[in-house]
Amino acid sequence: MMPPMRSKLLHFSATFRLLLAALIFTQGPLNPASAAPPIPVNEVVKGAEDVEAIVAIYKRQLGARLSAPLATATTDLSSEGAPSSPLGLIVAEGVLRQAQRLAPKTQIFMTNDGGLRVSLSQGTITLAHVYELMPFDNEVVLLTVSGAVLADICDAIALKRGEPVAGLSATLDPQAGRATDVRIGGAPLDPQGVYHLATSDYLVEAGWMRDAVKGIAVERTGLLLRDAIAAAFKAHVGPLTPPATQPFKWSAP
């Protein structure tokens, strides 16, 4: 059964929509030129007490949830840096583990630094911080790619001078747009091999990975990248710290 408060709010919303539809049907679309002067919304306009009470309940519940601690950081974690940012590497490692819970064969996770919108400061990290870090509803997706396609993806990463990845390492030459000595789990990339990759729907649909994976089946997981980050932070043992080594290094000039 629907909670009484929610039922009342939905009823209020449905009633408003019906009244608006009736107005448009009988009067036609509103014409701004002939409409009555707008009513300013200020302290003179009193709110509906019953609706305000409902909003207050949800505001308290949401505030408590957003302020709940997930993890700690003993130093500032930047979302900027090449070839991979410290925060980007933490996110990549954590989301890879979350993806492996859904699909144990997953070997690699990669995302883009641009999608991580803020850095995190030293101290307690809450769910509110994760929403600031990842404000988009991007979804974790899974792909099965050949070694040749994965090599093309790594070349694209070289052109971008690195991105956050986990499960993969390489030497990058940004000038040539080439990645060499690509390794997956420490093993050299096999062009004829098959690899299981997790990333975000944005990257495969509209981001820098789109051309490399065009025509390849994409499996949606229903897991928002933001939720995966939050779960990874919460599951992390000890303070959040970047991996000891960078997955990418620059080629010799």
Fold of 70-250: 5'-nucleotidase;  domain 2 (3.90.780)
**Tens-digit pLDDT profile for residues 168-196:** 999 999 999 999 999 999 999 999 999 99
**Tens-digit pLDDT profile for residues 38-84:** 656 555 555 567 666 766 765 677 777 888 899 999 999 999 988 88
How high is the pLDDT of residue 82? 86
CB 193 within 8 A of CB 147: yes
How high is the pLDDT of residue 38? 61
Nearest residue to 211 (alpha-carbon basis) of 155, 166, 161, 158: 155
Helix and strand numbers, DSSP H then E, in the chain:
7, 11
Reported pTM? 0.76
The domains of the chain are located at 70-250
**How much of the chain, in percent, has pLDDT values that exceed 70?**
77
Contacts of 127 (CB under 8 A, 6+ apart): 65, 66, 67, 68, 70, 230
**Tens-digit pLDDT profile for residues 190-212:** 999 999 999 999 999 999 999 99
The residue ranking higher by pLDDT, 237 or 109, is 109
